[in-house]
Amino acid sequence: MGGNVNGLLDGKRCLIVGVANKRSIAWAIARRLDEAGATIALTYQGERTEGDVRALAETLSRPAAAVLPLDVQDDDEMDAAVAGAADALGGIDVLVHAVAFARAEDLGGRFADTPRDGFELALDVSAFSLAGLARRCEPHMTDGGSIVTLSYLAAERAVPGYNVMGVAKSALESIVRLLAWDLGPQQIRVNALSAGPVRTLAARGIPGFSDMADKIAERTPMRRAISTDEVADAALYLCSPLSTAVTGETLHVDAGYHAMGL
């Protein structure tokens, strides 16, 4: 991780949605914000991940204010999770949205063959959930705030094998820009991090991911892959007072790959 950032987020109250395991980008962000002085609330989806998320919460430097169930397709759970986090934290200053899902069968083959229900599922979970969470967090961000979500270069370019998730990430980045306008008068900033390939457990579900990640690493200006910790450092910047005039932005954290023509 980066240098000493103790105190950068002192007093800040952060809701982090999408931690699944210790290798996830969301967890790297949670650790980084915790190190910077923030108080953290986490969510989990379903009993399968609850134990892991609760165990991770115990390793933070200060106790997690809350660990709450959240299925972003369930409006009642959305209401309860945000309200519960705001109550436990005493308000919300930061929302980190790290939720994305598409069925495995909708990632392989041709995008043209994506069925309607698979398309709707991917966009609902991966993109619309940001708008739903932002709307619910807004009343609790009484002193302004920062909302950060996770995107990928497939939002801008066709990436075979990423298919419907690329479309979902395009929608996500458009939502970021619209929310930045809607929430700007309340001094709430909304930004996306477009991370390069990171070898998380979720990434293993993308056909050909390992080979793609190796080739991309070779073709970045820095000639290397990136780490979850580097994405977390960029998230810290967007969540901190260092970025108070940055909103509606998609910040690439990919060792420069997005700038290349090949």
Long-range CB pairs of 109-118 (<8 Å, 24+ gap) are: 109/163, 110/163, 111/163, 111/164, 111/166, 111/167, 114/163, 114/164, 118/164
User: Is 152 among the residues known to form the active site?
Assistant: yes
User: Is 44 among the residues known to form the active site?
Assistant: no
Q: Tell me which of 44, 152, 237, 257 is the catalytic residue.
A: 152
Distance (Å) of CA 7 to CA 33, 66, 78, 110: 10, 21, 30, 48
- How far apart CA 6 and CA 35 sit, in angstroms, is 6
Tokens of 219: 């073709």
Residues 6+ positions from 82 with CB-CB distance below 8 Å: 15, 92, 133, 136, 137, 140
**β-bridge partners, 252:** 194
- How far apart CA 31 and CA 126 sit, in angstroms, is 23
Catalytic residues: 152, 162
